[in-house]
A = this chain, B = another copy of it.
């Protein structure tokens, strides 16, 4: 797996540093998006807070991860589709924010419906967030 991470960094022209490999490996293993504070808690003081922010920013700029804002306005990050580059993100999928566990899921199979917006306005990116109860929380409730 470490090879895979190194390749991904190299492919996007980023130096293979300890913090970058670590952050990328954590994000790759998750099925929900992670914020800087969450990553800080997972990784511990091994990586500086500021470095974490800068790693995330670098990854986003290169198209390795994409940013989603949760219901509190906190930035959360998830790994991108492999077709993303520094020129263009192709993550036009719906996101789901669980109101119980607060996790943010990438609904990779749900693409965002087309919209006809009013004359005069120009659309660049569209963002769709569904708030509700996720599958795991529903199981806990009903089970």
Contact = CB atoms under 8 A, between A and B. Distances in A.
A58 to B, nearest CB: 19
Interface stretch (A9-17, A42-50, A111-119): A111-119
A123 B132 contact: yes
Q: Is chain A's interface secondary structure helix, strand, loop, or mixed overall? A: strand
Given A113-B115, A115-B110, A118-B107, A99 B126 contact: no
A122 B115 contact: no
Interface string A114-143: 010111111111111111111100110000
B73 A96 contact: no
B132 A124 contact: yes
Interface of A: 69, 71-75, 94, 96, 99, 107, 109-110, 113, 115, 117-135, 138-139
